[in-house]
Structure 1
Amino acid sequence: MESTTPPPQGGLRAGLSVGSGLAVASFLLAISFGAASYAQGWGVVAPIVCSLIVFSGSAQFAMLATLGTGGLASTVLAAGLVQARYLPMGVAVAGDLRGGRLRRALEGQSLVDGSWAAAHLGGGRFDRLLLFGASAVQWPAWVAGTALGVLLAPDAGLQHTLGLDVLTPALFVALLLDELRKDRANFPPALLGGALAAVLIAFLPTGPALVGSALAAGLGLLRYRRAAA
């Protein structure tokens, strides 16, 4: 009797399909970023250029939250701390990238949260083509959403009216639930990360608290290294 289980790797076409759904959320969230950054005096060009180059909602919102009150140094620090989560994510996916150092570095630029989670096959393995496809769809959606947000910026309550301010936490919860569904071994890091975040948020700003909670990912990384040894 033939198995009806789908193949473990979806490839580029599957990545484009998955990325289309993620791109919708990215587009709506980018509208919020564009409107909020324009309202804080970034002008028309800076928000769009930022989305073109940075392409990270969490880092860009961290910059937005600190630039007006904490100065340039604290803004760079906050964004850097938020982006530090890509260190364990990059280590996890590195074994499935190809080529020399330069090519692997270029392939690593496709690493974003939604694509990384969608490309995870379990057991520390990743579908690199799915990763590429999912990110390729999200990037133009993120930039286009930012541009639209800048145009709609005069409506200061736009993101709250449309509920766009809840998209980021909702997206990360969905990604977490998907990871837990794929592998029950992810439960301990998830629970520890949640506990660390709850404790640290009482004493630290949001960015450092979230980075501190990401240390729990070391449990999963240690497990995968032991399994590969």
Structure 2
Amino acid sequence: MTSAGSGLTVLQTCVLSLLAFTGASQFALVGALAGGGSPFTAAVGAVFLSMRNAFYGIRLSQLLALPRAVRPLAAHMVIDETTAVSLAQHGRRAARIGFVVTGVSLYLLWNLSTFLGALGAEAIGDTATWGLDAAGPAVFLALLAPMVRTTTQRAVAAVAVLLGLGLLPVLPSGVPVLAAALAVPVVLYVEGHKRVEGRRTQRAQQASDDSAQGEDR
């Protein structure tokens, strides 16, 4: 329904779900399109979000050690859930079974629900009339919220929101989302600077204490 509210047809929605088997990236893409962004900026934002799957793939390639012939197909199944299930198993055989069963079942159910949702959206007409145009951002926030746990992650999320909202009036649709990715290096730089300053202060305090102890002696 979310993609239908963004102007995609049932066929386009189903093809997107078949080829881009990663929920967060799909929601980001259709959300950017719904906001009037260009297909290019929407696709770049979706790619940024799916880059974590590449790191999953590096770990799983060592764990599963699949034959080269099936690796391209297996790569399509590398998502959060298949990674979590595979890593939780004991032994390579169990990890492979967990990966395949989880990947295939989720892929089939995801695409079936996509098809039914797109048909339902087409049947009810303009999804904005029902408020379903807000479903994309709402689902994306629901997916993101459980991942924001540490202080650093909260800081990145806060800076990203400020960048996205601040640049929204001056940049084309879809571009503020990409610019929000700058929150990561900004926060990491600030935290790194604080750690360096903290170590310097600690060393200076230690030197002062040592000097005071030497004078007492």
Q: CA deviation at 1:81?
A: 1.0
Correspondent of 2:27 among 52, 56, 61: 61
1 or 2 for the larger relative contact order (CA 8 Å, sep ≥6)? 1
1:146 aligns with 2:146: no
1:212, distance to aligned residue in structure 2 (A): 6.3
Q: Which amino acid aligns with 2:17?
A: S
Task: Kindly indicate whether the alpha-carbon contact (under 8 Å) linking 1:62 and 1:78 is maintained by their aligned counterparts in 2.
Answer: yes
What's the CA shift for 1:100? 4.3
Distance 1:140 1:55 in 2: 10
Q: Which residue of 1 aligns with 2:169?
A: none
TM-score normalised by length of structure 1: 0.58
Q: TM-score, normalization: structure 2? A: 0.61
> Within 2, Cα distance between the matches of 1:208 and 1:113?
25
Of 36, 41, 58 in structure 1, the residue corresponding to residue 7 of structure 2 is 41
Deviation at 1:206, TM superposition (A): 4.5
Q: What is residue 198 of structure 1 aligned with on the other side?
A: 158
Q: Distance in 1 between matches of 2:27 and 2:136?
A: 13
Identity among equivalent positions (%) equals: 23
Any conservation in 2 of the 1:197–1:210 contact (CA below 8 Å)?
A: no
* Residues in 2 aligned to 1:111 and 1:211: alpha-carbon distance in whole angstroms: 26
Count of matched residue positions in the alignment of Structure 1 and Structure 2 = 167
Is there any run of 5+ residues in structure 1 with no aligned partner, and where? 1-34, 178-186, 217-229
Aligned pair in 2 of structure 1 residues 39, 197: CA closer, same or farther (>3 Å)? Answer: closer
Distance verdict in 2 for CA 1:49–1:211, change over 3 Å: farther
One-letter code aligned to 1:59: S
Listed one character per residue, the Cα deviations across residues 101-120 of structure 1 (whole Å, up to 9, x for unaligned) are 44333322221122222332
What are structure 2's unaligned runs of at least 5 residues? Answer: 165-175, 189-217
Q: What letter matches 1:36 in structure 2?
A: T
Alpha-carbon separation, structure 1, partners of 2:15 and 2:88: 33
CA 168–118 in structure 1, closer or farther in 2 if over 3 Å, else same: farther
CA distance in 2, matches of 1:76, 1:130: 30
In structure 2, the CA distance between the partners of 1:110 and 1:208, relative to structure 1 (3 Å rule), is farther
- CA distance, structure 1, for counterparts of residue 59 and residue 183 of structure 2: 18
Indicate which of 16, 36, 57 corresponds to 1:90.
Answer: 57
What do the CA deviations read for 1:149-182 (whole angstroms, capped 9, x no partner)?
1222126237589x897555445556x59xxxxx
1:127 partnered with 2:127: no
> Which is helix-richer, 1 or 2?
2
Q: Which has the larger radius of gyration?
A: 2
Q: What's the counterpart of residue 180 of structure 1?
A: none
After TM superposition, list the pairs within 5 Å mapping 1:93-108 onto structure 2.
93-108=60-75
